[in-house]
Amino acid sequence: MARITVSDLSAALEKLQAQMSELLARMERLENPQRGALAAEASLKPAVAQPAAVPEAVASAAPSGITEEELVAISAAIGAYLGVRAHIRQIRLLGSNAWAQQGRVSIQASHSLQG
């Protein structure tokens, strides 16, 4: 069994602390894009690769309920499904009771009727 020295433990602890601070900085940039961008500019560390930016036309046309991260996720999902990068012109939420109505029909159809 290999012997572990105090200096080895100290070096490992410093490495873990550096990784933890880097992860916290990345998490801060993801949760707070404005404040995270300012912190990234202030630090001298190389920037972490970010997902492709959503075109301004899509971002400005997006309703206030959809964040930029959600737009990027939707764009990535469409790209993965189609296999090519698609141009998103509009995103809108369609309200529909079709799923609920179909569920009710299914449940009612499963009951036996007595006549």
Residue with the larger pLDDT of the pair 26 and 65: 26
With a threshold of 0.75, does the pTM exceed it?
A: no
- Please, which residues have CB within 8 angstroms of residue 87's CB and are 6 or more apart in sequence? 55
In this prediction, residue 45 carries a pLDDT of 46
Sorting pLDDT into bands at 50, 70 and 90, what band is 46?
Answer: very low
Does 51 have pLDDT greater than 60?
A: no
- Please, which residues have CB within 8 angstroms of residue 6's CB and are 6 or more apart in sequence? none
Does 63 have pLDDT greater than 60?
A: no
In this prediction, residue 48 carries a pLDDT of 43
What is the rounded average pLDDT of the residues 21-27?
88
